[in-house]
Structure 1
Amino acid sequence: MKNLLLATVASLSLAAPGFASGTHNDGHGEQLEIGVPGEAEQVSRTVKVSMKETDDGDMVFEPAELSFAKGETVRLEITNMGESEHEFVLDTVERNVTHKELMAKIDMEHDDPNSVRLDAGASGEIIWTFSNAGTFEFACLIPGHYESGMFGPVNVN
């Protein structure tokens, strides 16, 4: 039993640096409750989203709420108009909470089709098909950003 415990601790110790830095991809290419990565030729519209800090210290997305039709494929053009690095993550509220807690513990970047992380002044895009109806969330999960207001609802009808 002691050898098993030592082996487990050793393997976790060796794996920890991989989780502590670099990129993260936890299978987000597969079906999520909010949908699936979309195909560019299926895009029905483009939605522009900006991320920035306000003069009073809040961090915001504009628009503050997004709405889509079930089955719709969209191109989200995301621009970081702020002075800090920000990210845009599409998921359920519950998964974003869990993910945010993990990011508070380790330095993590994403390589997932439902997210984009951008330096100040940079732009990126997500092509997404909203295959399920419901209320979901977009958020910046960089430590402190969610708490400063960087989240909003995604309504899919």
Structure 2
Amino acid sequence: MKKFLPVIAALLLAGTTTLSLAHGDDPKTGKATVVAKEQKEWGIAGDARSVTRTVTLTMDDNMRFSPDKLDFKQGETVRFVIRNKGKLLHELVIGTKKELDEHAAMMVKFPAMQHDEPYMAHVGAGKRGGLIWSFNRAGEFDFACLIAGHYQAGMVGRISVAAASR
């Protein structure tokens, strides 16, 4: 029975979510990782075949992103190439201000907390990372580094997604 548990778990997962090769490459293997697609207020995980635009972001130990304001159109699937020019671990997390505020508060309480979602990328010092995200909903959203203290130091940015024209 123990031998079949992983198979049963995989079948249950496949029946309840849509999987996508979207989060970027696994840093250990260099191969695309598999993520569960879950609709969020700010969009859904994208896949490499659907990328319509690539945006390069840099982050550094001055606790800033460059650029810190991004504009997209509803329906764009964006590949984020994220470069950490600092000597500290940083991350990019996309969300609403409310979600980011709540998550940042948790990170202060539990700084070693592990999290890995398709709308976030952890990038080591001097390294490069990425993610692919589909902005299928219009609105004003945010991105931030939620490493304890970084968000509080102002490591944030803004995303505007214009509604698709009819």
- TM-score category (smaller protein): 0.7 to 0.9
1:110 corresponds to which residue? 115
2:78 corresponds to which residue? 74
Q: 1:77 to 1:62 in 2, by over 3 A?
A: same
Structure 2 gaps, min length 5: 1-34
Which structure dedicates a bigger proportion of its chain to helix?
1
SS in 2 for 1:147: coil
- Equivalent residues in 2 for 1:74-153 (5 A)? 74-106=78-110, 107-153=112-158
Which structure dedicates a bigger proportion of its chain to strand?
2
The answer (yes or no) to whether the contact 1:136–1:154 under 8 Å persists in 2 is: yes
Greater relative contact order (CA < 8 Å, ≥ 6 in sequence): 1
2:57 corresponds to which residue? 49
Q: Which runs of 4 or more aligned residues in structure 1 lie more than 4 Å from their structure 2 counterparts after TM superposition?
A: none
Distance 2:114 2:83 in 1: 17
Deviation at 1:53, TM superposition (A): 2.0
The answer (yes or no) to whether the contact 1:89–1:140 under 8 Å persists in 2 is: yes
The answer (yes or no) to whether the contact 1:29–1:112 under 8 Å persists in 2 is: no
Larger Rg over CA atoms: 1
- 1:94-134 Cα distance to aligned partner (Å, 9 max, x none): 00001111111112232110001111011111101001111
Number of aligned residues: 127
Deviation at 1:47, TM superposition (A): 0.2
2:47 corresponds to which residue? 39
Distance 1:50 1:108 in 2: 24
Percent same amino acid among aligned pairs? Answer: 44
Give the TM-score taking structure 2 as reference length: 0.73
